[in-house]
Amino acid sequence: MKNLFLGLFVVLVMISCSTDEYGDVVEEVSSVSVQASTLKQLGPANDANPYDEVGKKYGIWLSEYYQIHGYSKTIEDLATQVNFMGAKLKAPDVFGKSNILITEDGISISINNPETVVISTLASGTLSEAAESSLLGFFVSLIQNKEAEYNLLYDFITTYEAGIMDSSDLTSFELETILGITSVTRYALDAEGGHKDRDWEISVGNKKVASGFHPFQASLISVIAHLRYYL
């Protein structure tokens, strides 16, 4: 399995340091990750993130969807889930952006080439090159570690958030954008992973039904599909 915190070091260096500062970043990231791992993590919240409400709202909607429709087991299911959440996000009191329905073909592209979809979506926004590179590294690390346990993913995300909040190279818009996206990611992974079996199966009565997705894959693809709402 890829090393999440090595990837974290790379994405933080992209946005915050010159070459002679790398050692300080490694020490800081290691310290934060150890501290995060020793704390008992209760739920997906991160009170240190000033934009945590963005993810909390997303998590509530996603949990409601799962309660009604169950977890996505097919590409058709995931397309329905993504469009349900997209309809919520287009509400004027959230972003006011138009909703474009995602087809099953679009979901298939996101599943087969998630990094490419992230790159093209970020390119359509207004973030700086450094901010785009950092977010891309963030998602690539999650994509490559989609089989990790949630507590490790949580530690990775919150440590990344701490590094972003310490950066002096981001505009206030970029800070809000990145921290909103990371918050959404935390809550989305929790909504799926908090109840999903680790053997990629869903319990139905006394039987097991193959989910069709790796743990956290469906929720991560859903977040990637909704990136354009936050840029």
User: Which are the contacts of 179, defined by CB distance < 8 A and separation ≥ 6?
Assistant: 49, 50, 51, 54, 161, 164, 165
> Does position 39 have pLDDT exceeding 90, yes or no?
no
pLDDT band of residue 98 (cuts 50, 70, 90) is low
Which phi and psi (to 5°) does residue 202 adopt?
-110, 135
Q: Give yes or no for a contact between 63 and 85, defined as CB atoms under 8 angstroms apart.
A: no
Domains contained in the chain, number: 1
pLDDT digit string (tens) for 129-177?
A: 999 999 999 999 999 887 788 888 999 999 999 999 998 889 999 999 9
Between 202 and 79, the higher pLDDT residue: 79
3-state secondary structure of 207: strand
What was the pLDDT predicted at 16?
Answer: 54
Length of the chain, in residues: 231
Strands (E), the chain: 201-204, 207-210
pLDDT digit string (tens) for 46-66?
A: 999 999 999 999 999 999 999
- The residue range of the domain holding 61 is 4-229
- How many CB atoms neighbour CB 21 within 10 A? 11
Residue 189 CA, chain-centre distance (Å), reads 7
What was the pLDDT predicted at 99?
Answer: 62
Mean pLDDT of 180-200: 77
Q: Is 153 left (phi over 0), alpha (psi -120 to 50) or beta?
A: alpha
Q: Which of these, 25, 32, 27, 31, lies nearest to 11 by C-alpha position?
A: 25
pLDDT digit string (tens) for 17-30?
A: 533 443 343 344 44
Q: Which residue has the tokens 């009604």?
A: 68
Using CB atoms within 10 Å of the CB of residue 80, give its burial: 0 to 12 exposed, 13 to 18 middle, 19+ buried: middle
Between 212 and 121, the higher pLDDT residue: 121
Q: Is 212 left (phi over 0), alpha (psi -120 to 50) or beta?
A: left
Q: Give yes or no for a contact between 4 and 37, defined as CB atoms under 8 angstroms apart.
A: no
* Least-confidence region, from 69-73, 81-85, 97-101, 186-190: 97-101
What was the pLDDT predicted at 95?
Answer: 53
> Does position 1 have pLDDT exceeding 80, yes or no?
no
pLDDT band of residue 115 (cuts 50, 70, 90) is very high
What was the pLDDT predicted at 145?
Answer: 86
What is the average pLDDT score of the chain?
78
Q: Give yes or no for a contact between 213 and 72, defined as CB atoms under 8 angstroms apart.
A: yes
Per-position DSSP letters for 20-64, written without gaps between them: GGHHHHHHHHHHHHHHHHHSPP-SS--TT-TTHHHHHHHHHHHHH
pTM score: 0.79
